[in-house]
Structure 1
């Protein structure tokens, strides 16, 4: 069927981590957020061995064993109801001495395929394409996030289990210095007086040590590939390389060759002029998505002004630039400026030195901040539930925004990259300049170099061959062209660019446009731009989709599977005999 003549249940805009989290969550029948890990693993064990093992129900007086009921995947993918009875199944429990296998790569995991989904992405027709390209370009070998930050809806510890199953423990990097005994108040006071970074203080319980490793980028990519395979998300035509330029919501004209329902639908128009229709839309765009405004101290408009001698860190295609590479090959002196205070800026500094740049000048407006994560440790450690509760209980969105700013506190660099950058400084290959801004800039097209003036002045600053702006991006729903019509037709309150969504991450109660990731920050919290936010956002969206799609086309029974609703013990029921 031509994709432009079908009304999909859900269209996901963006094939990055947030989009993958939503797509996989929709197809997960027993999400770990609803089932405990023990219940979750037990259900899959029973499903895997259905019809093969005799399971004895506790509390029965009968001696005969009860075989697990096998449910029909083709007709209904809901483990929470008994197909053989119109009533809800009675609760039962089972016991077995057999070991419960890990679920990280369980190929028997069922998926709900009754929901018609389509993914549109401006980068390519593969999951995580922009994400993987960015890590490959910057030669980043390690994620900043800990092991429990991932997009797998089935198991909170899924990445750790996957790593152990495939025998790739060597691909784990310990995040040292954040796990162990709590630092005493006396030591904290001495650290403050000495001027040492406070973020290096230990705030995470020793019992959580196994969680505080970060995966290599290759391991994370392979784990995501296993999730894609598990939920059959790599079917041909599932993802289309289409950049969405406009979204509208309303009734379709009668002259269209589309079987329009008796309710409003979304029309998504792409840069090629194609139109796609859906009952619900999920915006899951990352920092590099369409409509996200990159931040520049200044931006040259043409080659004469230096447009080819600088770029944003999100726009790097090759590294180093052709001009710098040519000079390095000729063994000539090269100088590069990196502007920014986050982890990306430190990674660019390191890569420039490794590629042969003579010296890198590292400029940042604020102080040099050292943090394990881009969130403060209280949001990561054993008291994070208290922090999240305080956030969700805040009286106003303005108060939540201040909590987000406090928790993230601008760009920061990990202890590991801090050591790397300082080694380059010690070898006179890099120079760090905090609280420094570029006050004037002049580009010479003949020499292809910049002459910069800074405040405070940097002594003997030579002509600069290239400038990298690792200065982040600004997200404002009011400035996104694809939301222009939505903003006009269905206005909502916006605070500093962040939309005041419903608790389900929906634009309005009457507009099933869901927004996850960074733009969902006022509902998801400071972790919204991270992998944790992707998984949490997907959970909320999946629950809301059940209601939306049930109202629209009456698939409530099927939604019970992907939303994880109903009696969570019903999947353990045997042959339906009365056990009263």
Structure 2
């Protein structure tokens, strides 16, 4: 893209990955009033001032520099705000009553659309950004393709798991404002009345949480424990993308990063390109991109993530005719199974795994006409609402997080992560679905069962399997799906080969020991979010909650690193939660 005689275009930040974690970072660095900093009251005050700037007289800040408030900066801020135009009537609302809810929810659409997206992207941050993703040129393309292929209609996450940096309750507010309450599923069985005194006592004493009567979450939090449809979640993400102007052409490129270096660039015509080290990203197609900071936000399906198999299938076995990993499903069912179904022949499929994806594949295979599905699990059938234990989500989650962040070593943190996640699990809803298929003799569930031997017959296009313990009368299998997850190890990621050699870091079971800002090292501004940041974010790091939390830490560090702090901090001092909100009154009193 750059000739030898020209200076390369150096981005402030390049984000690798256009999934939820990448979107969370891109949105957060464009958000002027992040929810981690501003309360609902402060959000309302801030956006009220934006709306009414130039129409009403506002109490100006005192001129006392000693109090840290400067009227000159305040006036400049008002002039900046007065030049911005509101986008629509939806953006003028701060709260909206829902006919199905007894309490109002703060409306994120107010902050979302009260500022034109173009002005938001230009005024809220001066960071130049670029996103590279091997799946396509759209946000969440791999994510949406996976949900579409497996025909997943509902997210597992609760309503407060999302990537919106402006409001924790943003998705709930969006749902009510759009009138889409029918797109919500209640997560039953984890919400109820107050927990018993015995359980509270156990919690205060540091005992492990025990579900009593199936209740973990207080009744007052019931509105949070609905899960959105995939369509609702996708539309909400699109509203976030539009709000921050993240869909500009050329901002996301379909490029898979193959290599990364961090060093000084060679001089061009005896003139240094940069007086500091720069990241050089080389893609699989040979293109080079340059950035001052890089955010690695690749999900489980990204390049360099090794998929887990009971055994490694050969090149002849793995593919459309014999078997595949759940992350590689392109069409469903496989062509040979589809042909047999069309000819009304008996078909048998094996699904290996113990997580929610495996149960969804079992259900979809039966709905597509497979005669029988054999469901093999290495461990027992684990039933959980979420992929981490409820204490990390409920009333006492701060206790769990405090224990995690107070751990003396990363080894202790890793043990906490393993305990909280405890391998793959299935939601009660899908357990009920799979067991109903088993009752109808369409599925056969086999916990604590492993494949002992396997032989593929390419002529018959079937597998001969033996298991431990043996499954009586196991017929020839037409296809095998491995829903066995993936393993993330920074030492095995090809694009990090140079980073591991030149800037080694401590690694524990594949996870890097990052800084508290999620940086590779203090002297290397390579940030990681998602699963790779688990030792800093906790067991929720791979989830949507971890995407938002990780984005918050990274954005703060990027602003400091690139020295691109926003004017908003100066504009809002005294009323938006930065500094003393009553400083203006003190200044007037002194005068």
Q: TM-score range by the shorter chain?
A: 0.7 to 0.9
Counterpart of 2:380 in structure 1 is 367
Counterpart of 1:44 in structure 2 is 47
1:103 aligns with 2:108: yes
**Cα deviation code 1:77-104 (max 9, x no counterpart):** xxxxxxxxxxxxxxxxxxxxx9657223
State the secondary structure of the residue aligned to 1:246: strand
CA distance in structure 1 between the aligned counterparts of 2:155 and 2:494, rounded to whole angstroms: 32
State the secondary structure of the residue aligned to 1:308: coil
Deviation at residue 547 of structure 1 after TM alignment: 1.7
The 5-angstrom pairing of residues 5-154 of structure 1 reads: 5-55=8-58, 70-72=78-80, 102-104=107-109, 106-109=112-115, 110-111=120-121, 112-154=124-166
CA distance in structure 1 between the aligned counterparts of 2:187 and 2:315, rounded to whole angstroms: 43
1:244 aligns with 2:277: no
Counterpart of 2:101 in structure 1 is none
Assess, with a 3 A threshold, how the Cα gap between structure 1 residues 414 and 511 changes in structure 2: closer, same or farther. same
TM-score between the two structures when normalised by the length of structure 2: 0.86
Deviation at residue 255 of structure 1 after TM alignment: 3.5
Deviation at residue 198 of structure 1 after TM alignment: 5.7
CA distance in structure 2 between the aligned counterparts of 1:174 and 1:572, rounded to whole angstroms: 42
CA distance in structure 2 between the aligned counterparts of 1:10 and 1:563, rounded to whole angstroms: 26
CA distance in structure 2 between the aligned counterparts of 1:345 and 1:200, rounded to whole angstroms: 28
Contact conserved, 2:61 with 2:584, CA < 8 A, in 1? no
CA distance in structure 2 between the aligned counterparts of 1:27 and 1:558, rounded to whole angstroms: 13
State the secondary structure of the residue aligned to 1:72: helix
Deviation at residue 575 of structure 1 after TM alignment: 13
State the secondary structure of the residue aligned to 2:291: strand
1:291 aligns with 2:304: yes
Please point out which of 245, 258, 271 is paired with 2:284: 271
Deviation at residue 298 of structure 1 after TM alignment: 1.7
Deviation at residue 12 of structure 1 after TM alignment: 0.2
State the secondary structure of the residue aligned to 1:70: helix
Counterpart of 1:479 in structure 2 is 492
Deviation at residue 41 of structure 1 after TM alignment: 2.5
State the secondary structure of the residue aligned to 1:167: coil
Contact conserved, 2:46 with 2:572, CA < 8 A, in 1? no
Deviation at residue 301 of structure 1 after TM alignment: 2.1
The 5-angstrom pairing of residues 175-186 of structure 1 reads: 175-182=187-194, 184=196
Please point out which of 169, 172, 184 is paired with 2:181: 169
Contact conserved, 2:37 with 2:577, CA < 8 A, in 1? no
CA distance in structure 2 between the aligned counterparts of 1:236 and 1:547, rounded to whole angstroms: 28
Counterpart of 1:89 in structure 2 is none
Counterpart of 1:157 in structure 2 is 169
State the secondary structure of the residue aligned to 2:408: coil
Deviation at residue 70 of structure 1 after TM alignment: 2.5
1:310 aligns with 2:318: no
Deviation at residue 395 of structure 1 after TM alignment: 0.1
Deviation at residue 543 of structure 1 after TM alignment: 0.8
Assess, with a 3 A threshold, how the Cα gap between structure 1 residues 163 and 2 changes in structure 2: closer, same or farther. farther
Please point out which of 384, 405, 420 is paired with 1:392: 405
Counterpart of 1:191 in structure 2 is none
CA distance in structure 2 between the aligned counterparts of 1:536 and 1:306, rounded to whole angstroms: 37
1:568 aligns with 2:572: no
Gaps of 5+ in 2: 63-73, 85-92, 97-106, 201-209
Q: Considering Cα pairs closer than 8 Å and 6+ residues apart, tell me whether 1 or 2 has the greater RCO.
A: 1
Please point out which of 347, 369, 390 is paired with 2:360: 347
Deviation at residue 134 of structure 1 after TM alignment: 0.4
Assess, with a 3 A threshold, how the Cα gap between structure 1 residues 73 and 54 changes in structure 2: closer, same or farther. closer
Deviation at residue 261 of structure 1 after TM alignment: 1.9
Contact conserved, 1:353 with 1:360, CA < 8 A, in 2? yes
Assess, with a 3 A threshold, how the Cα gap between structure 1 residues 147 and 526 changes in structure 2: closer, same or farther. same
Assess, with a 3 A threshold, how the Cα gap between structure 1 residues 579 and 256 changes in structure 2: closer, same or farther. farther
The 5-angstrom pairing of residues 212-251 of structure 1 reads: 212-251=225-264
Assess, with a 3 A threshold, how the Cα gap between structure 1 residues 291 and 306 changes in structure 2: closer, same or farther. closer
CA distance in structure 1 between the aligned counterparts of 2:586 and 2:54, rounded to whole angstroms: 15
CA distance in structure 2 between the aligned counterparts of 1:137 and 1:501, rounded to whole angstroms: 35
State the secondary structure of the residue aligned to 2:561: helix
CA distance in structure 2 between the aligned counterparts of 1:258 and 1:125, rounded to whole angstroms: 35
**Cα deviation code 1:355-409 (max 9, x no counterpart):** 0000000000000000000010000100001100100000000000000000000
Deviation at residue 458 of structure 1 after TM alignment: 0.3
Assess, with a 3 A threshold, how the Cα gap between structure 1 residues 185 and 43 changes in structure 2: closer, same or farther. closer
The 5-angstrom pairing of residues 203-218 of structure 1 reads: 203-218=216-231
State the secondary structure of the residue aligned to 1:261: coil
CA distance in structure 1 between the aligned counterparts of 2:270 and 2:131, rounded to whole angstroms: 22
Assess, with a 3 A threshold, how the Cα gap between structure 1 residues 429 and 71 changes in structure 2: closer, same or farther. farther
Deviation at residue 37 of structure 1 after TM alignment: 1.8
Deviation at residue 52 of structure 1 after TM alignment: 2.8
The 5-angstrom pairing of residues 535-550 of structure 1 reads: 535-550=548-563
State the secondary structure of the residue aligned to 2:113: coil
State the secondary structure of the residue aligned to 1:5: coil
Contact conserved, 1:29 with 1:563, CA < 8 A, in 2? no
Contact conserved, 1:29 with 1:564, CA < 8 A, in 2? no
Assess, with a 3 A threshold, how the Cα gap between structure 1 residues 359 and 543 changes in structure 2: closer, same or farther. same
The 5-angstrom pairing of residues 431-580 of structure 1 reads: 431-550=444-563, 555-556=564-565, 568=578, 578-580=588-590
CA distance in structure 2 between the aligned counterparts of 1:499 and 1:483, rounded to whole angstroms: 12
CA distance in structure 1 between the aligned counterparts of 2:77 and 2:280, rounded to whole angstroms: 43
Assess, with a 3 A threshold, how the Cα gap between structure 1 residues 557 and 336 changes in structure 2: closer, same or farther. closer
Deviation at residue 243 of structure 1 after TM alignment: 0.2
